[in-house]
Amino acid sequence: MLFKNTISNLTRIRQVAEVLLRYGFEDVVTTTPLRRLVSQSRRLRWLEEDQRPVFETTRWERIRLIIEELGPTFIKLAQALSNRADLLPQALIDEFEKLQSNVPPFPTEEARLLIEAELGRPLGEVFSEFDDVPLGSASIGQVHRARLHGGEEVVVKIQRPGVREKVEGDLRLLHELVRLTSTFLRNQGLANPQDVVDAFERSMTKELDYTSEARAMEQLRKLYENYTSFYIPKPYRELNTAKILVIEFVNGCKITDKAQLLAWGLSPEAVAETGMDIYLTQIFEFGFFHADPHPGNVLVRPDGTIVLIDFGMVGKLTKQQKYAFAGVFIGMARQDARSMALNFRRLSLTSDIPDMRAFEADLNLLIEDFSVLDVQDMSMSDLADSLQGIIYQYKLQVPGAVFLILRALVILEGIGKVLHPRFNTFEFVRPYGARILREQYSPENILTEAEYTGTQLLALLQTLPIDLRQIMRKISKGDLRVKVELSGYTSLLRKADQLVGRTILALLLLASILFAGLSLLGHYPAEMPYYRGLPVITWYSLGAGLFLLLLLTMPQRVRRE
């Protein structure tokens, strides 16, 4: 099996290299170990080509075309990266947002067999009706409508057969590709490509387990159990497995179907305001939110109740992250660049901002750009792009949930403007920011923070004597070692090492040549064999010199390839 996987990965990586070459990314192939997988005939054929239509597109468009050709797993990775403005430039994010996972449905008979295998009983014992025509399909699974024997209408989400093995194979391939191209990716500004793939692997592993989505639905149902204007469908826990998700079917129209809302006697403006209030409550009150509120996932019932479906993508913020995120918006509203900078620093997973003054200056320019606009002219989309540009410029490592929120607010603003002619996202965010500020500095929260700080200090005081004793014991025995890591010198040290190695080879080559010359002057016994008039020992010396010459020139030849 290991041999089979290795051959499969090698073949797939060679295909990836071919696709990269076809779309004009020669530098990715020629400057990384991927070049070893391109045949000599392919190299010559590639060099003979002069003008290719692929160059009529931009570099970012060609990256999108490559992702589309490589298949669903790569598309999902690109879609996930489209929410990471700290890693990618905005132009590439715009291209990734165009990607669609258009996958045809798999046969219904396979869906029926998979349900029976997962639940361990015939389909007829579980459902009184099962619609063979799927409501929709995606790269991971598809959805069918059904009815339980108790009369409840449900939708059944079924994982595509063999998709787990396919995704796991593609993930192994991604790890291998990152290993081969890590130096190139770092030179392009992607500092931690392996971490990105690891995070994506965790996300995909979670998405392949439908019980995670069911738990998210149950958690939000509990948080909103007292809300009358918001509803989350019920998951049927006893029927759910890692590959099957059975949830309550909910009637309703898309939130952007303004004509249907008016036909039901509902106010589109009120629906938009209620939807925004629900979403901001998820972010700023619970810190746990539905992360994909596009119109197809937000329904409205005839009585005006808003329903969220498809919880495959959710986001979470800790209490401190929630305060810091709100502080960014509050600082902007108060035109306080320093406050924005400090809250960005609190929000970042690492607080390493090399030049805080330059950072504050850029935030101040952002504030000035938006302060001159009328409220009606302000756009969440423009603000999100500006914030994400600053995050990318300063390489801030902020939680992925922040980008999910910004993306969701942009989507909700688009929905709001369809329903509400005077809809403005900032007017809705402002009171929540003020509420968060009051909560952050409330006596209860200050007491909680003081208790946490006191606990940490007490733990430090408890362990400090032990740590000091161990240090003193090592010093007295002469066992204390200090590890110093020099960053930025790796390339220099590597070149120095190569120079030393080449110098040694050159000296050995010189010694071989000198020995060959001196061997011609020697007086040898009659037993010494000669070849072409020269003693064999001379030929041995010349052979050794030729071998050393090959070793000396080999790195240059590799680079020329």
Residues with catalytic function: 292
Neighbours of 18 (CB within 10 A): 16
Q: Which two tokens stand for residue 312?
A: 């495959």
CA distance 104 to 138: 8
CA distance 34 to 177: 8
Q: What one-character-per-residue DSSP string does 219-257 give?
A: HHHHHTTT-SSEE-PPB-GGG--SSEEEEE----EETT-
- Nearest CA to 20 out of 7, 32, 5, 9 is that of 32
* Three-state SS at 506: helix
Angle subtended by helix axes 356-371 and 319-333, to nearest 10: 60
CA distance 284 to 248: 28
- Nearest CA to 290 out of 303, 273, 275 is that of 275
Phi, psi torsion values for 530, nearest 5 degrees? -120, 150
Phi, psi torsion values for 159, nearest 5 degrees? -75, 140
Q: What one-character-per-residue DSSP string does 36-92 give?
A: GGS-HHHHHHHHH----GGGGS-HHHHHHHHHHHH-HHHHHHHHHHTT-TTTS-HHH
